[in-house]
Amino acid sequence: MKQLKWFALAGIIAIGLNGGLRVFNIWLSPTGRVLDSTIFTLWIIQVGIAILLFLGFVLNATQGKEIDDKWQQIYKIAGVFIAVGLISIPISNIIARPIQFSGYETFVQENDFLIEAIETFTAETGSPPESLEELVPNYLDEPTATLVEDQVGDEIRQQIEIVRTYNSIDSRSNNGVLYSYKPPTENDPWQLQVSIYLGSFQSTRFIYNPEEKYSNRYRPVGRWGLAE
């Protein structure tokens, strides 16, 4: 009975440190960046302890030493911890998916101000803008958007700088939000893209076009499409 209690405790801790912490991390921010360093550190510690226990077990086995009851108990508890922890990770990914999706739905809603600015510009001028810069200052004004000078070769261009604080994502991700815009062509409507740069050349991309039609590579999120 006492052994079962230790197994149960090991399982609960394993779920909390692995699957549970991952779900909580996504609940804090859909980008999963709030506790990513903590999760990685805990994972390294767990792997290190597991390797040490395994090496100790192999060493005893190769030397023909009999493992006493205490260490047998430790190995069994460690086995339960590792097994439950590994199983909890894919399960947590399934649980976290709708939580993450809900967070991204809120994020795209917070970007509807760009759609409204483009639609207002189109209604008043008769055609969509050729660039986001045309929206400043009549349709996007300070402090949300400003024009800054950027030198490209010998040419000085004005580029839009959008400053927006999003409540749906964490502060680190707030600093990595990027905006791009494609004007309409003969065959395609204009397209707006908002990306969250996650580091290591990874990003989460959302696109919007007035037809709200997206290829199979994009999952609908409200009026937007999320790149899968």
According to the model, what pLDDT value does residue 160 have? 87
d(CA 146, CA 35) in angstroms, rounded, equals 33
pLDDT for 141 equals 83
> Do 122 and 223 fall within a single domain?
yes
Same domain, yes or no, for 150 and 202? yes
Is residue 170 one of the residues assigned to a domain? no
Residue 151: pLDDT band by 50, 70, 90 thresholds? low
Strand (E) or helix (H) holding 57: helix 36-62
Distance CA 65, CA 98 (A): 51
> Which residue among 75, 100, 125 closes a domain?
100
Check if the beta carbon of residue 205 is closer than 8 Å to that of residue 195: yes
Quote the number of domains for the chain. Answer: 2
The CB-side HSE value for 41 (13 A sphere, CA atoms) comes to 4
Chain centroid to CA 112: 20
Boundary of a domain, candidates 57, 75, 100: 100
User: Is 171 contained in some domain?
Assistant: no
Q: Which helix (H) or strand (E) holds 101?
A: helix 69-109
**Sign of the alpha-carbon dihedral angle for 201, 206, 209, 215:** positive
Better-scored residue on pLDDT, 65 or 186: 186
The pLDDT, as a whole number, for residue 4 is 86
pLDDT at 89: 93
C-alpha span between 63 and 44 (Å, rounded): 28
The predicted-structure confidence for 162-213, as pLDDT tens digits, reads as follows: 888 999 999 989 989 999 999 999 899 999 999 999 887 889 999 999 998 8
User: Are residues 22 and 42 both part of a single domain?
Assistant: yes
* Residue-number span of the structural domain to which 83 is assigned: 2-100
Q: Is residue 169 part of a domain?
A: no
